[in-house]
Structure formats: C-alpha cells, structure tokens
Amino acid sequence: MTNEPAVAFEAASKAYGPVRAVDGLDLAVPPGETVALLGRNGAGKSTAIGLLLGLDTPDSGRVRLFGGAPAGAVAAGRVGAMLQEGRPVPRVTVRELLTFVARTYPSPMPVAEALALAGLTALADRRVERLSGGQVQRVRFAVALAGNPELIVLDEPTNALDVEARQEFWDAMRGYARRGNTVLFSTHYLEEADAHADRIVVLDSGRILADGTGEELKRAAGGGLVAFDLAGGPTEWLGTLPGVTSVEIRGDRARLRTDDSDATVRALAARDAIRSLEVAPVSLNDAFLALTHKPAAALKEPEPTR
C-alpha cells in the first residue's frame, strides 16, 4: 500500500449541455475507508462514479485512482465496480460465470474466495437465471470482486432489494471492507449511508454539501431539539438561551432547536423551566433536509426493518 489516496477527485467537473452534473468536485478517499455518496436523483452520483472508473473524462480537473489514471487501475484489476444497469442474466452457473470473468484479470481472486465473500458458496452450482433478485445482486458483487480489487465502487447497489436481501448484501460488502479494502457506494438511503459507511459525502447539483460521519452531519444540521411546557410562563427570553437557534411555540409548548442541547437544558433548569422536558437529537433525515433544503417528498427511505 502507498500513501496515495485510493480515490482522488481534483476539482473535477463534467457538464452535459447546461447541466453541471459534477461541479468542481474535490474528494480524497484514503485506502481502507468506506464512503457513501449520498444525494437525491440527479445529484451527480452516477456521473462522479463514471469519472472515477474512467468511463467518462472530466471537462476540467482530474480523477486519480491510487495515484494514477483510472484506466490503468481498472485494467490491473485494482478496481471492481457494480453499476446500475442490469445486464441480461446469463444461462450459466454462478461458478462458471465467475471463473470466466476471473480469467480476464491478471491476478484474480480465487473463485471460491469470491463466492464466500459474496455469500454464494451454497449457490455456486445454481444457474444465474434461477436466482432471486437479491442473489443476482450478490452475483454482480462477486463479479466485481473477480479481479481481486483493492477498491470497489457500487452505484446504488441495494435499489429494489427487500430488507432481508439488503442486509445480506451489506454483510457481503462489510466482509470485503474488513480486509482493509476501500469501498465507495452511492445511495438515496440515509440509514444505509449511516449504518454502512465510515464517512458520508452529501452531493447536490454536483457539489459537496457535507462530508463527515453521520454524527457530524447531524451536528452540522443543528444539534438537537429541546421541548418543554411553558406553564403560562414568558417566552421572549427563550431565543437568548445558550445554543438556541430557533424557537417555536405551539399552544403551551416551546420547541427549541439548539446546537448545544446540554447548555440549553442547563439554562432552562436554572430557570426551573423543565416541565415535561423532552430532548431529542436531530435525525439524520432532518440533517439531510437541512443541508439540501429540499422537501421531504424528494427523499426515499428504506422500508422499516422487521
């Protein structure tokens, strides 16, 4: 391993006519990190991934993989990818397919190892067209592993999978990441980004809106919510409390947004204004909305877990 980032976007831009799909993107991913690219439809995730894999070239700036041009890293098998478009399912077994793909790489991962990592050992002799959607997605993951890559790039890998298939997919991905490999995946799902990535990069209109852990995004979006009963008390002083960024009064209940819940609660307690006190962290969903300033309808959420 070198000290080079696994992935580096350096002021990379790509426009389609008037649309700046990727707009001056600067992003470095060190080896071993799992990063989620989070954004709404059209945020620029797939375009960024296309640039990263050398499928497209930036209009300006550049993209480097392990310190070199993407095409070199891809040809050497250092990068595996799972893109969105589904290819027709071949009429061969899982093992046959993987064996065939592995032969196209200079130093492939042993087929049995790719099968195990993708959770497909028991399905190795099943024909691909007889698998479920979730299993096919893991076959695509195994195909991406065939070249024994150090970096894997996944464009919305769990789209259209049910909860169980999603969990199985992420288990497979984590097994790969635990070996010290780098993962970059795109998603619309906040919970998936939070649960499976070390770092979340929020993209909007081809630019980075936020970059950090789920916790950091929540903090950046304004910490928490403190609510309590006013019990007929005055309200004009609430906005001056430490940490408070906004005040909302509904009936006899005050709801304060704060970037320092602890300080806000201490100040309220000093005034004995803690009747039916409620303190809640800002949700990741709220954080994302605050960052993108878009209505909730623009977001997709995964189905609730069982």
Ligand X SMILES: Nc1ncnc2c1ncn2[C@@H]1O[C@H](COP(=O)(O)OP(=O)(O)OP(=O)(O)O)[C@@H](O)[C@H]1O
The contact set with ligand X (CB under 6 A) reads: 16, 19, 21, 39, 41-47
The SS3 call for residue 18 is coil
For residue 249, what are the β-bridge partners?
Answer: 254
Nearest approach, Cβ of residue 19 and ligand X (Å): 5
Paired residues of 281 in beta bridges: 224
Residue closer to ligand X by CB (options 13, 181) is: 13
244-251 CB contacts, 8 Å cutoff, 24+ apart: none
- Residue 79: name the closest of 68, 90, 87, 94 by CA: 68
> Which three-class secondary structure state does DSSP give residue 41?
coil
When the beta carbons of 204 and 260 are compared against ligand X, the nearer one is 204
Burial of 133 (0-12, 13-18, 19+ CB in 10 A): exposed
Nearer to ligand X, 150 or 155 (CB): 155
Helix (H) or strand (E) holding 172: helix 163-177
Q: By C-beta, is 36 or 226 nearer to ligand X?
A: 36
> For the residues of 56-91, what is the DSSP string, one character each?
S--SEEEEEETTB-HHHHHHTT-EEEE-SSPPPPPS
Is 200 strand, coil or helix?
strand
Nearer to ligand X, 50 or 80 (CB): 50
Instruction: Between 43 and 139, name the residue whose CB sits nearer to ligand X.
Output: 43
DSSP 108: P
- Helix or strand (DSSP H, E) at 50: helix 45-52
H or E stretch including 154? strand 151-155
Phi, psi for 268 (deg, rounded to 5)? -65, -40
The distance of closest approach from Cβ of residue 27 to ligand X in the complex, given in angstroms and rounded to an integer, is 14
Identify which of residues 115 and 217 has a Cβ nearer to ligand X in the complex: 217
- Work out how close the CB of 24 gets to ligand X at its nearest, in angstroms, rounded to a whole number: 14
Q: Which is nearer to ligand X, 45 or 78 (CB)?
A: 45
Pick the closer one to ligand X by CB: 46 or 182: 46
User: Does residue 61 come out as left (phi exceeding 0), alpha (psi in the -120 to 50 range) or beta?
Assistant: left
What lies within 8 Å, CB to CB, of 144 at 6+ separation is 80, 81, 82, 152, 154
Q: Which residue has the tokens 């980004």?
A: 193
